[in-house]
Amino acid sequence: MSKFNIRQAVTDDAQIISDWNRAMALETEGKELPESVIFNGVSRLMEKPEYGFYLIAEKNTEIAGTLMVTTEWSDWRNGLIWWIQSVYVSPGFRRQGVYSAMYNKVQDLAAKNPDVCGFRLYVEKDNTVAQTTYKQLGMKETDYLLFETINRQ
């Protein structure tokens, strides 16, 4: 049994998710993200459950971590791949199993949805601590590189 309660985020959680997304971008990429854009982006996902959802990890009443799940249709597998994104664990809770508890919840939710055929995530090349965690949970590094075109910042 996890020492963390994992629940789906509600609209009252939008501010902390937004704040932590900004903290993650600054910490991992040195990027300062505009608060209003991030808050609106978090809120919009919460209004559109077909796009995805957020999970919150709590210990007692203190929020320990957050993550976002979005979906991708795989025609090769005739199913949904859930992308795990925007993972943030509060510094005081790091290396205590917060991400593992959230990942286990994602697996439990997916097991109840026959359309979900797998999980993916991307991680900064230099974030070896996170990469080790993902590998310990059974995730495998792929042979794919990620390319993108971003039309809006």
Q: Which amino acid is at 124?
A: E
Instruction: List the one residue out of 112, 108, 103, 110 whose CA is nearest residue 139.
Output: 103
CATH code of domain 5-136: 3.40.630.30
Say whether pLDDT at 11 is over 80.
yes
The pLDDT score that the predictor gives to residue 88 is 94
Q: Which helix (H) or strand (E) segment is 111 a member of?
A: helix 98-111
pLDDT digits (tens, 9 = 90+) for 141-150: 988 888 888 8
Helix (H, G, I), strand (E, B) or coil at 19: helix
Say whether pLDDT at 101 is over 80.
yes
Report the pLDDT averaged over residues 6-25: 96
Tokens for 48, please give them.
Answer: 């559109």
Tokens for 152, please give them.
Answer: 């809006």
The pLDDT score that the predictor gives to residue 151 is 84
Mean pLDDT of the chain: 93
Q: Which amino acid is at 140?
A: K
| Cα(16)–Cα(147) distance, integer angstroms | 29
